[in-house]
């Protein structure tokens, strides 16, 4: 009798995964994803595969799943096996590749899908985050450069209205809505769009017969207006993930909406509990890899030769002056110990049981020993010049405990770009520090690895998809479909599942205390 979840703008399913984990490993899932809607084909494939696996108990996935992975075969072959016909059909019903849009005929089809998925259940949860490109600071900066661009004409600003329409028509008991922090400063016609979103979500019904109370997940409500709605500032809705056991400095706006009839005046739901910070090295305990070399040879010998060609002897005084003698000595030591790791450049499956120490909680969340290896763990190729920049940056960060800014690179390592000293490229190359949470994992990781340099200089590379997924807290048995670029995009666009799992605990308590009102 699991509580149904409708997940729209689902991406690869990070938010849904967190809710699904509530009781799944114990064989008694509290929530069940009954419909996920996503427009991207690679993300849809990932969603469907995970939906298929959710037809089984968490620790009882089909043996064929692991066999396909270990043989570097497409795990989607599971759908063709007659013995899993029923599970495949359910996965097909529970995932839908479609673009949410303002279109009456589409709304009819969507409403039919939602009604069928809910199967008459009155207690259910809506989750999802409208696409963020129109709200993010990077997206808005990019849009300003588009001739004739008008925010008022960008339909992405109004996709939240599709979320709103579903609330109005189907009346979920609770909703969780996620977006980027930039939404707080986004404006349309000079008015703050977030204020309008909050107002609309409070009263989504055209007939004024269904209202919601909107809560922060990090701040306890201390004041209420005359209608019993909690009073929050916009910034109260920001969740700084690193404060809540996520090894990443990811700051997002997340709203918790509770239907008014389930939320008596003065009711205050639980909030997230702060935890000790997790660092990058706490979760990136995966088999080491080497990078490849773009526009040239990919052999391990050529890679080693490329790293060793770092011109330390010709620039030792310059490096010592800029970065310090300890960095110079570290560079020398690591150059003397460069060797190709046993797993070379990795792959979609790396046959390895190597896991360095993890605490029990992290082991329980991440590990699946039946894999006997690591998924989606292949390194990318880099230009020779970038290899030297990565190598230097990682050595610098190890000693100085911060990633070097552009003025902290010696001149011979700076990009051949006339504006490299303008100040606009200060963090062009960013090492993810071993003893700190990572910076925000975004879809930009698909374009190049400059912002996501591995802290271990002897690997001299950017993060793999699995390493990015670890920082996003996806379990290790969560396979990302598509090519590597598509996998990176999916990981960067996701909500950290472990954060979603913590939010699901709050939603569970809200629904449990209100169960007498569900009829």
CATH number at residue 54: 3.40.50.150
User: Are the CB atoms for 343 and 352 separated by under 8 Å?
Assistant: yes
DSSP 25-82: TTT--SEEEEEEEES-HHHHHHHHHHHHHTTS-GGG--HHHHHHHHTT--GGGGGG-G
Residue 323's pLDDT is: 96
Cross-strand pairs, 127: 7, 176
User: Are the CB atoms for 182 and 135 separated by under 8 Å?
Assistant: yes
List the Cα angle 322/324/327 in 5-degree steps: 110
Residues 6+ away with beta carbon under 8 Å from 398: 330, 434, 455, 457
- In a 3-state reduction of DSSP, which class is residue 117? helix
Tokens 């305990």 belong to 285
- The count of residues in the chain is 519
Q: Looking at the structure, do residues 104 and 141 belong to the same domain, yes or no?
A: yes
DSSP 357-384: ---HHHHHHH--GGG-SEEEEE--EE-H
As given in the structure block, the two tokens for residue 58 are 């968490």
Q: Looking at the structure, do residues 131 and 142 belong to the same domain, yes or no?
A: yes
Residues 6+ away with beta carbon under 8 Å from 113: 35, 37, 96
Q: Looking at the structure, do residues 212 and 328 belong to the same domain, yes or no?
A: no
Q: Looking at the structure, do residues 109 and 77 belong to the same domain, yes or no?
A: yes
- In a 3-state reduction of DSSP, which class is residue 504? helix
User: Are the CB atoms for 232 and 275 separated by under 8 Å?
Assistant: no
Provide the number of structural domains found in the chain. Answer: 2
Q: Which domain holds residue 316?
A: 280-493
Q: Smallest Cα–Cα separation from 398: which of 449, 426, 435?
A: 435
Q: How many CA atoms lie within 13 A of 180 on its CB side?
A: 22
Q: Looking at the structure, do residues 405 and 346 belong to the same domain, yes or no?
A: yes
Residue 140's pLDDT is: 37
Q: Looking at the structure, do residues 260 and 113 belong to the same domain, yes or no?
A: yes
Q: Kindly report the pTM of this predicted structure.
A: 0.93
Residues 6+ away with beta carbon under 8 Å from 248: 241, 242, 437, 438, 439, 440, 441, 471, 472, 473, 496
Q: Looking at the structure, do residues 303 and 373 belong to the same domain, yes or no?
A: yes
- 132 given a catalytic annotation: yes
DSSP 222-280: --B-TTSPBP--GGGGEEEGGGGT-SB--EEEEEEEEEGGGS-TT-----PPP-PPP-H
- In a 3-state reduction of DSSP, which class is residue 143? helix
Cross-strand pairs, 96: 37
Of the residues 34, 123, 132, 460, only one is catalytic, namely 132
Residue 152's pLDDT is: 47
Q: Looking at the structure, do residues 178 and 252 belong to the same domain, yes or no?
A: yes
- Cα–Cα distance, 283 to 368 (Å, whole number): 14
Q: Looking at the structure, do residues 213 and 340 belong to the same domain, yes or no?
A: no
- In a 3-state reduction of DSSP, which class is residue 185? coil
Q: Looking at the structure, do residues 294 and 270 belong to the same domain, yes or no?
A: no
Q: Smallest Cα–Cα separation from 491: which of 127, 43, 1?
A: 43
Q: Looking at the structure, do residues 255 and 350 belong to the same domain, yes or no?
A: no
Q: Looking at the structure, do residues 238 and 349 belong to the same domain, yes or no?
A: no
pLDDT tens per residue, the chain (519 residues)?
799 999 999 999 999 999 999 999 999 999 999 999 999 999 999 999 999 999 999 989 999 999 999 999 999 999 999 999 999 999 999 999 999 998 999 999 999 999 999 999 999 999 998 875 555 444 434 545 555 534 444 454 568 889 999 999 999 999 999 999 988 988 877 778 899 999 999 999 888 889 999 999 999 999 999 999 999 999 999 999 999 999 999 999 999 999 999 999 999 999 999 999 999 999 999 999 999 999 877 799 999 999 999 999 999 999 999 999 999 999 999 999 999 999 999 999 998 876 666 888 899 999 999 999 999 999 999 999 999 999 999 999 999 999 999 999 999 999 886 555 555 556 789 999 999 999 999 999 999 889 999 999 999 999 999 999 999 999 999 999 999 999 999 999 999 999 999 999 999 999 998 554 433
Alpha-carbon distance values, 280 to 210, 368, 435, 445 (Å): 44, 20, 6, 16
């Amino acid at each position: 009798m699991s509580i149904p979840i409708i997940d729209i703008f689902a991406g690869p399913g990070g938010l849904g995964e967190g809710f699904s984990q509530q009781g799944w490993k114990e064989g008694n899932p509290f929530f069940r994803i009954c419909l996920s809607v996503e427009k991207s084909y690679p993300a849809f494939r990932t969603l469907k595969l995970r939906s298929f696996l959710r037809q089984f108990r968490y620790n009882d996935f089909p043996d064929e799943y692991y066999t396909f992975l270990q043989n570097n075969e497409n795990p989607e072959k599971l759908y063709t096996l007659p013995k899993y016909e029923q599970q495949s059909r359910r996965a097909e019903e529970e995932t839908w590749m479609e673009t949410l849009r303002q279109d009456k005929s589409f709304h009819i089809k969507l409403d039919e899908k939602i009604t069928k998925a809910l199967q008459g259940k009155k207690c259910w949860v809506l989750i999802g985050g409208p696409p963020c490109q129109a709200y993010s600071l990077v997206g808005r900066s990019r849009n300003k450069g588009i001739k004739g661009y008008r925010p008022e004409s960008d339909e992405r600003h109004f996709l939240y209205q599709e979320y709103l329409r579903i609330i109005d028509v189907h009346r979920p008991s609770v909703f969780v809505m996620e977006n980027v922090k930039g939404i707080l400063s986004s404006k349309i016609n000079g008015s703050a769009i977030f204020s309008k979103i909050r107002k609309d979500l409070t009263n989504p019904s055209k007939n004024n017969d269904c209202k919601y109370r909107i809560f922060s997940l990090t701040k306890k409500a201390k004041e209420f207006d005359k209608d019993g709605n909690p009073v929050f500032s916009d910034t109260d809705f920001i969740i700084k993930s690193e404060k809540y056991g996520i090894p990443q400095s990811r700051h997002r706006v997340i709203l918790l909406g509770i239907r008014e009839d389930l939320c008596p005046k003065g009711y205050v739901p639980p909030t997230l509990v702060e935890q000790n910070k997790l660092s990058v090295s706490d979760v990136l305990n995966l088999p080491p890899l080497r990078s490849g070399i773009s526009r040239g040879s990919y052999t391990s010998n050529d890679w080693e030769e490329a790293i060793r060609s770092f011109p330390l002897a010709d620039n030792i005084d310059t490096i010592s002056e800029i970065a310090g003698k300890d960095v110079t000595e570290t560079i020398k030591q690591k150059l003397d110990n460069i060797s190709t790791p046993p797993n070379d450049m990795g792959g979609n499956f790396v046959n390895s049981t190597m896991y360095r120490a993890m605490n029990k909680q992290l082991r329980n969340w991440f590990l699946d020993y039946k894999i006997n290896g690591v998924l989606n763990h292949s390194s990318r190729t880099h230009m020779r010049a970038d290899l030297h920049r990565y190598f230097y940056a990682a050595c610098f960060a190890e000693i100085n405990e911060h990633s070097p800014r552009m003025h902290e690179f010696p001149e011979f390592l700076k990009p051949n770009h006339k504006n490299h000293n303008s100040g606009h490229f200060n963090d062009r190359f960013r090492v993810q520090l071993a003893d700190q949470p990572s910076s925000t994992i975004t879809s930009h990781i698909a374009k190049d690895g400059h912002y996501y340099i591995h802290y271990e200089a002897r690997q001299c590379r950017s993060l793999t998809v699995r390493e990015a997924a670890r920082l996003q807290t996806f379990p290790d048995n969560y396979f990302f479909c598509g090519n590597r670029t598509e996998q990176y995009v999916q990981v960067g666009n996701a909500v950290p599942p472990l954060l979603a799992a913590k939010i699901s605990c709050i939603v569970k308590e809200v629904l449990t205390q209100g169960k007498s009102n569900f009829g």
